[in-house]
């Protein structure tokens, strides 16, 4: 193996780290729909958003036209602590699969947060600090975003309040300790520390929580505290913007070795990793400069793209956030508690939703036992224990590589390996013990989710 001079890991130099984020909206003919004020059904103004978000981030959120946005030097310095991340040629996986396909993955797990989330966490914390805030509030599902934000806040000396989806809080006690080690306060959600949490607990006693519900609590916690703003780890345009560092590095690394991908694959929960990875490639596609198959992979138990509706919906269960137009299962949809693999958000990034709606990308839903099977195969040959979330992309990358084996095509497949699974061993244990099951929501359950959609403008 490794006979064609492409190294196992393509590392850019620190000088090659992009100095600007790329705003794919500037190249989109059909812009993502604006966030709406749920009371007036009018687009949210910067002023209205200012009640919740930092000023500079609102500018980024609302800017559909500036193509390149400078990365501040302090953020670049932080990036240099763990970036550039390697683009890895999966020689061992190719050999295991005996596929003619060439497989690459952009590995974002080599930092303590264990995922790509740090790319946006440091940006958001930086702008909060710059605005003179005391701290930030947020929610976390699998815990990667919360850990990333805790790290960024520790670095900048900001207070950090994290509402963690209860099922993850219980399955991942050590995640909580990592966040505490970085100085964060972590509360399982729903909790009785907020009004919305108490309301949800009363309505759904015994609920294992959801991201949508944790968002509601974190927003309330921000609103009731002086000097705090709310930050979000996915879905929003600003987050996808920060995450383009992934795709830009990937693009540069591929170019350096004259590699042209045929298929680009990423897992999709709220869309931050996928959006970040594909943006520069999507830009080429939008400008007619190149063509790629782009595939979003989501869990069959939370299938926003493949079974959701493209509609205005709340981002949170408590219905206190603005409305976003996106593929959604309804803000009241909560995935089955047997679902272990993350990516449990009911909606999807408005940018990606628009691109998907316009036929510029595909989506597939996969079941979790097949995801863990792919994860285990990958771990044993590539030596990296992947996060369950990331393993959704591995599953489809393997499937596509196996199709190449059948057809004999030497396609080049690039996928995003967003993170590591060190804190997901309860789920791995379930799989190792043969005790993992799959769950696909019934049509009735999906319809029930849709019933909770707000009146469309």
345 versus 428: smaller Cβ distance to a copy of itself: 428
Q: For strand 159-165 and strand 87-89, is the pairing parallel, antiparallel, or unpaired?
A: unpaired
In the bound complex, what is the minimum distance in angstroms from residue 78's beta carbon to a copy of itself? 8
Q: How far apart are CA 328 and CA 316, in angstroms?
A: 11
By the 8 A CB rule, do 26 and 282 touch?
A: no
**Minimum distance between the CB of residue 300 and a copy of itself, rounded to whole angstroms?**
22
Task: State the minimum distance, in angstroms, from the CB of residue 11 to a copy of itself.
Answer: 5
Q: Considering the complex, what minimum distance in angstroms separates the CB of residue 1 from a copy of itself? A: 7
Of 282, 316, 403, 317, which is closest to residue 35 (Cα–Cα)?
A: 316
Burial environment of residue 59 by CB neighbours within 10 A (0 to 12, 13 to 18, 19 or more): middle
Nearer to a copy of itself, 147 or 279 (CB): 147
Give the residue with the Cβ less far from a copy of itself, 345 or 378. 378
Smaller CB distance to a copy of itself: residue 42 or 80? Answer: 80
Non-local (6+) Cβ contacts of 398 within 8 A are: 93, 97, 374, 377, 378
Beta bridge partners of 327: 310
Q: Find the shortest distance in angstroms from Cβ 435 to a copy of itself.
A: 13
| Cβ atoms 322, 38 nearer than 8 A | yes
Q: For the residues of 106-129, what is the DSSP string, one character each?
A: EE---STT-BTTHHHHHHHHHHHH
Choice between 406 and 433, CB closer to a copy of itself: 433
Nearest residue (CB) to a copy of itself, 93 versus 215: 93
Tokens of 285: 């596609």
Phi-psi region of 2 (alpha: psi -120 to 50; beta: other; left: phi over 0): left
Q: For residues 109 and 303, which CB has a smaller minimum distance to a copy of itself in the complex?
A: 109
Which positions touch a copy of itself (CB under 8 A)? 1-2, 7-9, 11, 13-14, 77-78, 80-82, 92, 110-112, 114, 118, 151, 154-155, 173-174, 177-178, 180-183, 376, 379-385, 420, 422-423, 425-426, 428-429, 432
Q: Name the minimum Å distance from CB 6 to a copy of itself.
A: 10
Helix (H, G, I), strand (E, B) or coil at 315: coil
Beta-bridge mates of residue 229: 136
Cβ-proximal residues to 228 (8 Å cutoff; 6+ apart), any chain: 133, 134, 135, 136, 137, 159, 161, 221, 222
In the complex with a copy of itself, the residue whose CB is nearer, 57 or 178, is: 178
In the complex, what is the shortest distance from the CB of residue 429 to a copy of itself, in angstroms, rounded to a whole number? 5
> At its nearest, how many Å lie between a copy of itself and the CB of residue 176?
8
């Amino acid at each position: 193996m490794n006979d064609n001079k492409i190294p196992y890991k393509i590392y850019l130099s620190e000088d090659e780290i992009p100095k600007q984020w790329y705003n794919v909206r500037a190249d989109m003919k059909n812009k993502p729909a604006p966030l709406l004020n749920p009371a007036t059904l009018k687009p949210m103004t910067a002023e209205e958003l200012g009640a919740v978000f930092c000023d500079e981030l609102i500018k980024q959120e609302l800017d559909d036209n500036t193509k390149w946005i400078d990365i501040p030097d302090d953020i670049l310095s932080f990036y240099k602590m763990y970036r550039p991340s390697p683009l890895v040629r999966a020689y061992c996986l190719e050999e295991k699969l005996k596929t003619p396909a060439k497989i690459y993955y952009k590995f974002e797990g080599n930092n303590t947060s264990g995922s790509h989330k740090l790319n946006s966490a440091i940006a958001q914390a930086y702008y909060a600090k710059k605005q003179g805030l005391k701290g930030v509030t947020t929610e976390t599902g699998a815990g990667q975003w919360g850990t990333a934000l805790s790290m960024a806040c520790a670095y900048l000396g900001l207070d950090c309040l994290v509402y963690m989806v209860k099922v993850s809080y219980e399955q991942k006690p050590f995640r909580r300790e990592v966040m505490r080690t970085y100085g964060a306060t972590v509360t399982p959600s729903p909790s009785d520390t907020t009004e919305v949490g108490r309301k949800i607990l009363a309505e759904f006693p015994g609920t294992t929580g959801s991201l949508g519900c944790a968002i509601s609590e974190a927003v309330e916690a921000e609103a009731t505290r002086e000097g705090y703003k709310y930050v979000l780890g996915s879905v929003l345009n600003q987050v996808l913007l920060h995450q383009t560092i992934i795709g830009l590095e990937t693009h540069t690394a591929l170019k350096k070795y004259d590699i042209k991908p045929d298929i680009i694959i990423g897992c999709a929960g709220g869309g931050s990793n996928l959006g970040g990875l594909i943006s520069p490639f999507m830009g080429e596609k939008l400008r007619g400069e190149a063509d790629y198959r782009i595939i979003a992979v989501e869990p069959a138990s939370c299938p926003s793209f493949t079974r959701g509706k493209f509609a205005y919906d709340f981002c949170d269960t408590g219905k206190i956030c603005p409305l976003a137009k996106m593929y959604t299962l309804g803000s009241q949809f909560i995935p089955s508690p047997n679902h272990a693999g993350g990516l449990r958000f009911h909606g999807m990034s408005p940018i990606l939703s628009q691109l998907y709606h316009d036929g510029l990308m595909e989506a597939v839903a996969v079941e979790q036992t097949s995801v863990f099977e792919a994860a285990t195969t990958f771990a044993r040959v590539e030596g990296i224990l992947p996060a369950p979330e990331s393993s959704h992309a591995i599953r489809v990358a393997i499937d596509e590589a196996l199709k190449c084996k059948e057809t004999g095509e030497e396609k080049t497949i690039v996928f995003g390996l967003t993170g590591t699974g060190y804190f997901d061993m309860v789920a791995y244990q379930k799989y190792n013990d043969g005790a993992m099951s799959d769950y696909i929501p019934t049509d009735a359950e999906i319809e029930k989710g849709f019933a909770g959609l707000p009146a469309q403008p």
